[in-house]
Amino acid sequence: MKAICIILFIFVNVSLSGQEYLEIPLYDTKRIVDENTPSIRVYLSDKPNGMAVIACPGGGYKYLEMNKEGYSFAPWFNDRGITFIILKYRLPDGNPEIPLTDAKQAMRLVRLHAKDWSINPKKIGIMGSSAGGHVASTLATHFDNDTRPDFQILLYPVITMDEEFTHSGSFQQLLGENPAKEEIALYSNECQVKAETPPAFIVLSDNDNIVPSTNSIRYYQSLNNNKVPAEMHIYPTGGHGWGMYKNFTYYDQWTGSLNKWLEIRLSDKK
C-alpha cells in the first residue's frame, strides 16, 4: 500500500502515569481509536533530539503485550530525547501481509509528521519484542522506498519461520496450518537480509525457552555476511519476555549498551 492517509484528527490523551500521548488511527482518520483500531500511540519527548522509535509489542501474533513491550518503554526513551511510538498492529490470522502493511503505514505516518513532532525523518527506527521482533525485522528486510527504517532494535525476537527453530505459535498465527515453502522462506527474515537492511541492535537471553536463541544468531550472521552493522548481546539468564523489567539481572547492562548504540546512531551523518 503506497498511499499515505492524511491525518485530519489527532486524539490527545493522558496515560495513567500522567504522561500525555497522541493516539492516531493508521487508516481511517475519522474513526475514534478503540481496542480494535490499528493505530499508533505517540509519546513526545520534552527535549527532542530528532530521533524516533516505533515499537512493535509481542504476543505470539495472537494478542499484543501493549504494556510490557510498549507503553512501559516510553519514559526511558523520552528521557533521552527520543520520540517513542507504539504500533498497535492487526493480528495476521494466517495472512502474513497484515502486520507488515501496518508497520509500513506507521513508518509513513511518522515521516509525514516528522516536522510537527521535531523528528529527523532519517533517524526513525523500528523496534520489536518477541513476535513483535518478527514484525520489526520483517519491515527491516521487506521495506519499500518510503518505509525503510533507519535502524532496528530487537529484543528476544522471533526471526525465522524455519519450523525447527521458530516459535510454533507465531508460525501458526502468521502463516496458517500448511504454508507453502516459498512463504516460509519469504518470512524467514534471516534469508531476506540485504546490504540495504538497516543497522541492528539485538538483545536476548541464552536460556530463552520460548524463542530459541538460534533466531537471533542466524539473523546476526546474515547481517554480518551482508556487511550490515550489528551489535548483539546474549545474557546467560533471564528467559523470555523481560521487557523493561528492572529486576532483570542484566537490566543495567543491556539498557546501557542500547543507550550508547543509540548515541552512535544519532551522531551518524548518513
Q: In whole angstroms, give the CA distance from residue 127 to residue 53.
A: 7
3-state secondary structure of 204: strand
**CA-based radius of gyration for the chain:** 17
- Compute the average pLDDT of residues 220-232: 98
pLDDT of residue 4: 42
**Average pLDDT over the chain, rounded to whole?**
93
- Whether the pLDDT of residue 107 is over 90: the answer is yes
- Confidence band for 210, pLDDT divided at 50, 70 and 90: very high
- Whether the pLDDT of residue 15 is over 90: the answer is no
Q: Which long-range contacts (CB under 8 A, 24 or more apart) does 212-216 make?
A: 212/165, 214/160, 214/165, 215/157, 215/158, 215/159, 215/160, 215/165, 215/166, 215/190, 216/154, 216/156, 216/157, 216/159
- Compute the average pLDDT of residues 37-62: 97
Report which of 259, 129, 125 is spatially closest to residue 205, judged by C-alpha positions. Answer: 129
User: Are 240 and 208 spatial neighbours (Cβ–Cβ below 8 Å)?
Assistant: yes
CB atoms within 10 A of CB 88: 22
- Compute the average pLDDT of residues 107-121: 98
Grid-cell match 502463516, residue found = 175
DSSP letter at 50 equals S
What percentage of the chain carries pLDDT values higher than 90?
Answer: 88
pLDDT of residue 268: 87
- Whether the pLDDT of residue 213 is over 90: the answer is yes
At 143, which helix (H) or strand (E)? none
β-bridge pairing 39-43 and 20-25:
antiparallel
- Compute the average pLDDT of residues 170-188: 96
Sequence-distant (6+) residues with CB within 8 A of 97 are none
Report which of 101, 24, 21, 20 is spatially closest to residue 8, judged by C-alpha positions. Answer: 24
